[in-house]
């Protein structure tokens, strides 16, 4: 049976159509081969990435080397989300040699986000640009569903904000990092940290061209909610079950909405422990999703989402053209997110707003701060945990303090009280409403 190298496979589907016995099936993110394969080898020659073999794998890369990578950088950033790209961009602008690694083949895709961000959160990092803004929003509507089934809706000014096109936004940030001098590599995953005793001294990377060890003075783990980098370095990054928001979202097309208004729905029946949102993406389409608190929702988020859409006549008329799923860490920040030679930023450090689940702006702020501290420490020749802790200290003195307060507020209201007037007042302020 033909063998698939899933590291190399880019899910293009070229092989499927040449197979005479229909043994190949391109599942959404995986090529499957079934027993009917006769080992004829036809598919092997059409594969553009060399991912198919009729014999056990041999390394067909350029002698097992990466496509040109230096042996050593000042800084390696793992993950090209908003946190990682801003860290790479800022460090490169300060003159550091920077490698930015992204395991996916396309930065920003698949999207795992409702894409909302406030104007004042965005502009410290990048000037708004219509290429990656789907909608500008000025109003917000809040609907509370009580246990008796009655709903109450209030409408107010939401402050100025945007619904992004993150597929483009994330890529533009990585392009800015590259323009500043960082080397960016896609389809290149960090698979382990290189350690010198208890100090991080680099990263083991795997790409379609093979595996390599790359050294650096500092590593920034910006590897998102699925982060493993911190744990590799011995940091406790376990996400408590009750602090995990399980989310599902459709991009619904063909719906009647106000394209300048974000809508929020709160109630135990709608989204236990969380909320539902309708974020416009321009005329007649919107990100319609919800997050449920994993330990109190009896069913998967997707089930709640389908029920929610069906309950809203103006949404039920639409068609889902994209399904997004993901987890959001609405958790206390990690007690430590720095160790010798390593810093964590963004979702990897649980730097998400525990009330709203918003994390784009926090990740960018953390990325900038981590780059600033890395630059100072490298210049001073000290990247020990004591030196890099300046990042933790500055974080806790600024945004970290706000997020800690938000977590305490979240804890004050158990899931069954999230629809109370008092909790709604807190929530409305947190999402930037008035």
210-221 and 199-207 beta bridge pairing = antiparallel
49 contact choice in ligand FAD, ligand SF4, none (CB below 5 to 8 Å, kind-dependent):
ligand SF4
Shortest reach from residue 245's CB to ligand FAD, in Å: 8
Strand ranges in 148-198 using DSSP code E only, listed in sequence order: 151-164, 183-185, 189-196
Shortest reach from residue 142's CB to ligand SF4, in Å: 45
By CB under 6 A, residue 208 contacts ligand FAD: no
Shortest reach from residue 58's CB to ligand FAD, in Å: 24
- Least Cα distance to 324 among 110, 87, 70 occurs for 110
Candidate ranges 92-100, 108-116, 377-385, 411-419; the one touching ligand FAD (CB under 6 A) = 108-116
Give 14's contacts (C-beta < 8 A, 6+ positions apart): 46, 47, 48
By CB under 6 A, residue 75 contacts ligand FAD: no
Residues from 10 through 29 that contact ligand SF4 (CB under 6 A): 10-15, 18-19, 21, 23-24, 26
390 contact choice in ligand FAD, ligand SF4, none (CB below 5 to 8 Å, kind-dependent):
none
Contact 203, 214 (CB under 8 A): yes
21 contact choice in ligand FAD, ligand SF4, none (CB below 5 to 8 Å, kind-dependent):
ligand SF4
Shortest reach from residue 419's CB to ligand FAD, in Å: 21
Which two structure tokens, joined as six digits, stand for 361? 């702006």
By CB under 6 A, residue 37 contacts ligand SF4: yes
- Least Cα distance to 143 among 316, 317, 262, 302 occurs for 262
> Could you give the string, one character per residue 49-78, with x where binding to ligand SF4 holds by CB under 6 A and - elsewhere?
x-xx--------------------------
The b-or-e profile of 307-317 (16+ CB within 10 A means b, else e) is ebbeebeebee
261-266 and 199-207 beta bridge pairing = unpaired
By CB under 6 A, residue 104 contacts ligand FAD: yes
By CB under 6 A, residue 359 contacts ligand FAD: yes
Give residue 311's region: left, alpha or beta (phi > 0; psi -120 to 50): alpha
**How many chain residues bind ligand FAD (CB under 6 A)?**
40
Shortest reach from residue 50's CB to ligand FAD, in Å: 21
Nearer to ligand SF4, 24 or 225 (CB): 24
By CB under 6 A, residue 114 contacts ligand FAD: yes
Shortest reach from residue 49's CB to ligand SF4, in Å: 4
> Could you give the string, one character per residue 240-279, with x where binding to ligand FAD holds by CB under 6 A and - elsewhere?
-------x-x------------------------------
- The C-alpha atoms of residue 50 and residue 238 are separated, in whole angstroms, by 37
By CB under 6 A, residue 113 contacts ligand FAD: yes
By CB under 6 A, residue 207 contacts ligand FAD: no
Residue with structure tokens 């709160």?
266
Which residues on neighbouring strands pair with residue 252, listed in sequence order?
286, 320
- The C-alpha atoms of residue 318 and residue 343 are separated, in whole angstroms, by 43
83 contact choice in ligand FAD, ligand SF4, none (CB below 5 to 8 Å, kind-dependent):
ligand FAD
- Sign for the CA dihedral angle at 346, 218, 202, 62 comes to positive
Per the omega criterion (within 30 degrees of 0), is the bond before 110 cis? Answer: yes
Nearer to ligand SF4, 56 or 197 (CB): 56
């Amino acid at each position: 049976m033909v063998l698939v190298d899933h590291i190399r496979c880019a899910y293009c589907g070229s092989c499927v159509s040449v197979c005479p016995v229909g043994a190949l099936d391109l599942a959404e993110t995986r090529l499957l081969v079934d027993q009917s394969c006769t080992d004829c080898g036809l598919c092997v020659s059409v594969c553009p990435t060399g991912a198919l073999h009729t014999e056990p794998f041999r390394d067909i890369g350029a002698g097992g080397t990466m496509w040109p990578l230096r042996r050593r950088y000042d800084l390696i950033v793992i993950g090209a989300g908003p946190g990682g790209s801003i860290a790479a961009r800022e460090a490169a602008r300060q003159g550091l040699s920077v490698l930015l690694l992204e395991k996916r083949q396309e930065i920003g895709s698949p999207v795992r986000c409702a894409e909302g961000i406030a104007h004042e959160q965005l502009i410290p990092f990048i000037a708004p640009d219509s290429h990656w803004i789907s909608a500008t929003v000025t109003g917000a509507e809040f609907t509370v569903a009580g246990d008796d089934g009655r709903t109450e809706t209030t409408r107010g000014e939401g402050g100025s904000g945007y619904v992004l096109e993150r597929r483009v936004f994330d890529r533009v940030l990585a392009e800015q990092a590259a323009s500043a001098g960082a080397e960016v590599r896609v389809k290149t995953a960090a698979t382990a940290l290189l350690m010198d005793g208890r100090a991080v001294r680099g990263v083991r990377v795997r790409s379609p061209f093979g595996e390599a060890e790359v050294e650096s003075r500092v590593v920034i783990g910006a590897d998102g909610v699925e982060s493993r980098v911190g744990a590799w370095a011995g940091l406790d990054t376990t996400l408590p079950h009750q602090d995990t928001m399980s989310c599902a979202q459709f991009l619904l097309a063909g719906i009647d909405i106000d394209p300048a208004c974000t809508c929020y729905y709160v109630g135990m029946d709608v989204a236990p422990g969380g909320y539902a949102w309708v974020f416009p993406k321009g005329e007649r389409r919107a990100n319609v999703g919800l997050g449920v608190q994993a330990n109190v929702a009896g069913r998967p988020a997707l089930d709640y989402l389908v029920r929610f859409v069906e309950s809203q006549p103006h949404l039920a008329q639409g068609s889902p053209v994209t399904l997004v799923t993901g987890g959001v860490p609405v958790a206390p920040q990690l007690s430590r997110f720095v160790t010798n030679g390593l810093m964590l930023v963004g979702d990897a450090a649980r730097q998400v707003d525990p009330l709203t689940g918003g994390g784009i702006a926090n990740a960018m702020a953390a990325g900038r701060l981590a780059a600033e501290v890395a630059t100072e420490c490298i210049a001073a020749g000290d990247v020990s945990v004591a030196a890099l802790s300046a990042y933790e200290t500055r974080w806790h003195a600024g945004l970290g303090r706000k997020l800690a307060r938000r977590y305490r507020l979240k804890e004050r209201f158990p899931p069954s009280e999230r629809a109370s007037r008092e909790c709604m007042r807190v929530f409305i302020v947190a999402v930037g409403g008035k």
